Amino acid sequence: MKIYTKTGDMGETSLFSGGRVPKYSVRIETYGTVDELNSAIGLARSFGLSDDVESIAVQCQNDLFVLGADLATPPSGKAIIDRIGEHHSTQLESFIDKLDRHLEPLKFFVLPAGTQTAAALHVARTVCRRAERICIKARESEDISDHVVIYLNRLSDLLFVMARYENAQSDLSETLWKVR
């Protein structure tokens, strides 16, 4: 199979369930942003994550492929695919709880900074929040599962905790937000 198909040269792309839509469609924007999020997590991984966070990051990247396929396949389509469900979000909550046990309680807002790894996780968190906002907007005109939005909401929380955990593992104090 060749990488280039030329089928998108005129500004349209195919959905998994069949049919073609403009590349600027809100559905394409949703899973394009999820793809960007997956790449941001990959960038964070390239800086070297602690073992606990590395395994979680790999699981999240795999889940994001499922989520992207979910977004690329309207439920009314004929394609049968794995979809994001409640159990995915529950697993993210367990990851958050596992890592959060090792962190000081949060009393103030922290600036997104720290090690390269933590900073990259903070960037991934902001991309995740954007993906969530786009999915919520897309639900106005597209059939998008509530589980997708819930998953992205939990994942942004997890990415925040992962960044804090990486800083803690490096004995790096967090920079607190100071109001002037």
- 101 in any annotated domain: yes
The domain of 120 spans 23-169
CATH number of the domain to which 140 belongs: 1.20.1200.10
- 178 in any annotated domain: no
Mean pLDDT confidence for 117-133? 98
- 174 in any annotated domain: no
Interhelix angle 51-71/86-100, rounded to 10 degrees, is 160
- 153 in any annotated domain: yes
Query: Number of structural domains, the chain?
Result: 1
- Predicted confidence (pLDDT) per residue in 35-54, tens digit: 999 999 999 999 999 999 99
Burial 129-163 (b: 16+ CB within 10 A, else e): bbbbebbeebbeeeebbebbbbbbbbbbbbbbbbb
- 160 in any annotated domain: yes
pLDDT, position 17: 65
More confident site: 158 or 177: 158
pLDDT, position 22: 59
- 104 in any annotated domain: yes
d(CA 30, CA 25): 9
- Predicted confidence (pLDDT) per residue in 151-163, tens digit: 999 999 999 999 9
Helix ranges restricted to H, the chain: 26-46, 51-71, 86-100, 116-138, 146-169
Residue 74's closest CA among 6, 133, 25? 25
Coil vs helix vs strand at 163: helix
